[in-house]
Amino acid sequence: MTINTSFFNLDSKIENLINNDPKLGSMREKLLRKWRDLRKQKLNIMITGATGCGKSSTINALFNMDAATETQDIAKVGVGSNPETMDIVKYELGNMILWDSPGLGDGKEADPRHSHNIIDKLLEKNGNEYVIDLVLVILDGGSRDLGTSYQLINDVIIPNLGEEKSKRILVAINQADNAMKGRFWDHENCRPEQKLADFLEEKCQSVRRRIKEGTGVDVEPIYYSAGFKEEGLPQEKPYNLAKLLYFILKHIPAKKRIFVMEGVTTEKGNLKSNQDSGIKTSIRKTIKDGIGEIFDGIGEAVSAVTSAVVETVGSVISSVCDSVCSFFSSWF
């Protein structure tokens, strides 16, 4: 796998537009400065969950980890009783930073330390804004006992998300293929049969109700399968991974969505099998909305914007969006 440097080369597209369009006049330097300031921003996503829920498998399936700059090796999948991720690990993929946190369930001595580290990171600020844009909490779809997960969500994460709590948390149920003890899973087509799909939908609603009752926060859980198994066992392809990507894009600040696309997996098969046949269209729209907000933000930030500037800035949105979405569509 290689880093998505050919993704759409956004910097050169925007800077060439600003530098070469004669309509901009004295606005040119202001627009360039605002665009470069935006590109200095970072998107921070924390990924956490109870031990064994499949955090590292999800990271490896969804993101292009061969291109990541990390503080240790690529996220490892736990084998046996000892979890691999013992400290919060930072992975950098362009402007996107992933924080792989240790899961609760490691024991009475380790769990308080892990909780303390998670809370510290959630409360960390850069100026007036929280550093962590989104917390992705992964649950084990094959487990009937989610007590540790609810403890993590209700007692550790949600109380430390600030005012707009529902915007900074996404709950996703992994290992959908292991729900109902692995029955009713179509291995050939890598998807649940209807009976299992109904069970998983009800599980999502049950989790939603439980979190709402415990915290007052309304979340919208989804289910998926990262598809990666322990070494030496048959490998399953991911299921509903594109929907997970879509929900991540929806939950993060719109203008930062391009940073996710810089680091998303380049493995084409990982995004193919999905519950929703229209998920590709939904992702395209979300990306376009995000790119539109980038340009709107640049325009609004410059005082006395002329109609010519607005027209010039707007003219690049379609070409950039087309480039992004064309590249992205090839992964399905």
Question: Do 209 and 220 meet the contact criterion of CB atoms below 8 Å apart?
Answer: no
* pLDDT at residue number 195: 97
Segments making up each domain of the chain, as ranges = 1-40+277-332, 42-267
Q: Are 103 and 109 within 8 A, CB to CB?
A: no
18-23 long-range contacts, CB within 8 A, separation 24+: 21/312, 23/306, 23/308, 23/309, 23/311, 23/312
Q: What is the mean pLDDT of each run of 10 residues along the chain (332 residues)?
A: 49 72 70 78 94 89 79 44 63 92 75 90 93 97 90 95 94 95 91 96 97 96 84 76 95 90 81 87 86 64 51 60 65 67
Q: Is 96 left (phi over 0), alpha (psi -120 to 50) or beta?
A: beta
Q: What is the pLDDT of residue 139?
A: 96
Phi/psi region, residue 92 (left: phi>0; alpha: psi -120 to 50; beta: rest), is beta
Best CA proximity match to 247, nearest among 124, 135, 330, 143: 135
Task: Please say whether the beta carbons of 201 and 176 come within 8 A.
Answer: no
- What three-state secondary structure class fits 24? coil
The CATH superfamily label for domain 42-267 reads P-loop containing nucleotide triphosphate hydrolases (3.40.50.300)
Residue 79's pLDDT is: 39
pLDDT of res. 199: 97
Residue 295 has a pLDDT of: 64
Q: Would you state the pLDDT for residue 327? A: 61
CA distance 61 to 224: 12
What is d(CA 58, CA 237) in angstroms, rounded to the nearest whole number?
Answer: 12
CB atoms < 10 A from the CB of 301, how many? 15
Give pTM, 2 decimals: 0.85
Tokens of 132: 């962590």
pLDDT for 88 equals 87
